[in-house]
Amino acid sequence: MLKVFLLRNRRPLLRSLPLPASRHIHASCTVCSTSAAFDSTVAGGSHHASTAPPPRLSLDQRDVSTSHGVARSNWMITQLCRDGKLAEARRLFDAMSSPDVVSWTSMISGYVRCGMIREAGLLFDNPAAKKNVVTWTAMLSGYVRSKRISEAEELFHKMPEKNVVSWNTMVAGYADNRLIDEACDLFGRMPMRNVVSWNTILTALSQTGRVDDALRLFDRMPEKDVISWTAMLTGLAQNGRIDEARSLFDEMPKRNIVSWNAMISGYAQNLRLDEALQLFEMMPERDLPSWNTMITGFIQNGELRRARDLFDRMQGRNVITWTTLITGYAQEGQGEEALKVFFQMQRDGINPNQATFVSVLAAVSDLAGLGEGKQIHQRINKTIFQYSPFVESALISMYSKCGEIGTARLIFDGTEQRDLVSWNAIVAAYAFHGCGREAIQLFEEMRKSGFKPDGATYVAVLSACSHSGLVGKGLNLFTALLRDESIEVKEDHYACLVDLCGRAGRLDEAARFIDGLEVGSSSACVWGALLAGCNVHGNVKIGKLAARKLLRVEPGNAGTYLLMSNIYASAGKWKDAARVRLRMKDKGLKKQPGCSWIEVGNRVHVFTVRDKSHSEAVVIYDLLQDLHHKMKLFGYIPDIDCAPE
């Protein structure tokens, strides 16, 4: 939200010499009486008059550095801060014999801009500090940007004078923290407003689903700019009212690229891709966000091929473009393509960002490509993202899925700032490797460290209990989950519990549990877990129920037919097994052949069932026969009664 008013107030809060003067910059204001304040229709309540004395409003006063030397130092401090050289700027500031208000404001603003709020606060609270409304507003902005809303509120009430930017900053602070009622109340008490004030509250209402309130406010605006129109159509589109958004778009007296992008994004979010593309082709001019918006829309709607076609048409691409495509391939299970795009991105000289690394590591995880994962890890170690909790968690997941649980644990142990994402990653890693007791131990350590488990944590630890046969512990954990009202219990949690009971042979208990929860036939993961348990233990009765429910959701899933056929076969009901397979054949369904791969000497060798295409197939099958012979000598008897044909 703060970005909205900063975009409008493009001019800096402070201009330092050697320009002719440094002054307060005030946008033109629309004066509105307190009695005409934001009415209860929008604010959600009556207006509360402030008992404090009326605030002083800063008008067109000037702050001028009278000394040429001071003005020159101020200019250098400002430039150093903009370049991120805060230490040099502070040395220059400390060396000044008589810093003026411009000097103090420049230094405080520099700290705020770089997120160094503590340093900004210490300087601001210095008894010798010279401050004006711009200085106070800069400090206020720092608290707002850091989401320290209580401190921002306290500072705002202490301000000896306020200008419209001060009020807008505080309103934006409330809005950014989803304190919409507080934002509306403050907006209603503003003695002066400009179009930024209206846009800020308009956007806040739209983003929180209060679209009708936003529309009423939009109709009352004394002045609208292109940001006002764009904010309103974005709110309509994001809340599913895409046709109203288009009507507003067509009424706009003036559009910019952001308006076009917002409308295209709205169509894409509402699954109307053809209209989005039609509008995209109509654009008088396009920028990178235009292309990225359209590509993102295609990917979010599963149209990866069309996204790639658009990607190939682009003349210039940025890191967002590349990352979006990599993410699309990774989410669709096309890990090899994701890797190809990533390496092409590097050849084109585009530096990856945090999201890029997270997405490409997910692709590597699916491929179990340890070699590629290590290469990417080396690349990460040369960037600031090596300290990102999200990247560290992605690395933990990648190494664990590549079989390197020891390396995954080393990364976790070396994490300086652990967060919930990191803990979830390592618990899931041990669960993936069937190390249930270790996963539970980490789960308990996480709670002792002050981290509260979320839904993903419980999925990981319940899965660990399931794979390790820790039924009692798993049931206790699930009971704790049900008691925690702050976590929404989802199908994944139910599926873990059913899988836990199914693996332990407690199928009747699992079936009763599902009936008790009234899980609908649409819960494919729950019924799939139950069917898998029936396959392991040969339970025909419950298996038929689970298969029937599952086929209602996924009638084209060949795996369901095969599992049911195997259940019949394990029970000796060969005719029923044959009937299920015949039904599967009549529907034209075929099971995807099993596939495995191994990396040897930087080369990936891929094999499918009965595959003889490998250049060393003869040697491989000779080795397999030798292994099979040795297994027989040790007394191993394979269970082939229910093996798929």
DSSP state of 288: H
Instruction: Tell me the one-letter amino acid at 396.
Output: I
Q: Which CATH number does the domain 1-33+59-223 belong to among 3.40.1380.10, 1.20.1250.20, 2.30.300.10, 1.25.40.10?
A: 1.25.40.10
Q: Which residue's structure tokens are 């789960």? A: 443
Asked whether residue 321 carries a pLDDT value surpassing 90, the answer given is yes
List helix spans (H) across 208-303: 211-220, 226-238, 242-251, 257-269, 273-282, 288-300
Q: What is the pLDDT of residue 330?
A: 93
Mean pLDDT along residues 56-74: 64
Q: Closest Cα partner for 470 from 430, 424, 423?
A: 430
Instruction: Tell me the one-letter amino acid at 64.
Output: V
What is the chain's Cα-based Rg?
Answer: 31
Q: How is 375-395 classified by DSSP, letter by letter?
A: HHHHHHTTSGGGG-HHHHHHH
Asked whether residue 404 carries a pLDDT value surpassing 80, the answer given is yes
Instruction: Tell me the one-letter amino acid at 287.
Output: D
Strand partners, 31: 192
> 3-state class of 220 per DSSP?
helix
Instruction: Give the tokens for residue 303.
Output: 């149209």
Least confident segment among 27-36, 437-446, 499-508, 529-538: 27-36
The per-residue pLDDT for range 236-265, each reduced to its tens digit, is: 988 889 999 999 999 999 889 899 999 998
Q: Give backbone dihedrals phi and psi of 209, rounded to 5 degrees, phi first.
A: 85, 0
611 — pLDDT class (breaks 50, 70, 90):
confident
- Which range is most confident: 464-473, 499-508, 530-539, 583-592? 464-473
Provide the residue ranges of all domains of the chain, joining segments of one domain with +.
1-33+59-223, 596-633
Across the chain, which distance is largest between two alpha carbons, in Å?
101
Kindly compute the dihedral angle of the four CA atoms of residues 576, 578, 584, 587, in this order, to the nearest 10 degrees. -100
Burial of 116 (0-12, 13-18, 19+ CB in 10 A): middle
pTM over 0.85: no
Q: What is the pLDDT of residue 328?
A: 94
Strand partners, 607: 596
Question: For 194, how many CA atoms within 13 A lie in the half-sphere containing its CB?
Answer: 18
Instruction: Give the tokens for residue 336.
Output: 């090899």
Q: What is the pLDDT of residue 409?
A: 94
Asked whether residue 603 carries a pLDDT value surpassing 80, the answer given is no
Q: Which residue's structure tokens are 């009556």? A: 46
32 — pLDDT class (breaks 50, 70, 90):
very low
Q: Give backbone dihedrals phi and psi of 301, rounded to 5 degrees, phi first.
A: -105, 15
> 3-state class of 290 per DSSP?
helix
> 3-state class of 27 per DSSP?
coil
Strand partners, 193: 30
Instruction: Give the tokens for residue 625.
Output: 């026969």
How far apart are alpha carbons 481 and 493 in whole angstroms? 9
Mean pLDDT along residues 28-50: 38
Cβ atoms within 10 Å, residue 590: 9
Q: How many percent of the chain have pLDDT more than 90?
A: 32
The per-residue pLDDT for range 485-540, each reduced to its tens digit, is: 888 888 888 888 888 888 778 888 788 777 776 555 457 788 788 778 888 777 88
Beta strand 22-23 with 62-63 is antiparallel
424 — pLDDT class (breaks 50, 70, 90):
very high
Positive or negative, the CA dihedral 606, 612, 613, 619 is positive
Q: Closest Cα partner for 263 from 272, 276, 281?
A: 276
The per-residue pLDDT for range 178-188, each reduced to its tens digit, is: 898 998 899 98
Instruction: Give the tokens for residue 449.
Output: 């460290």
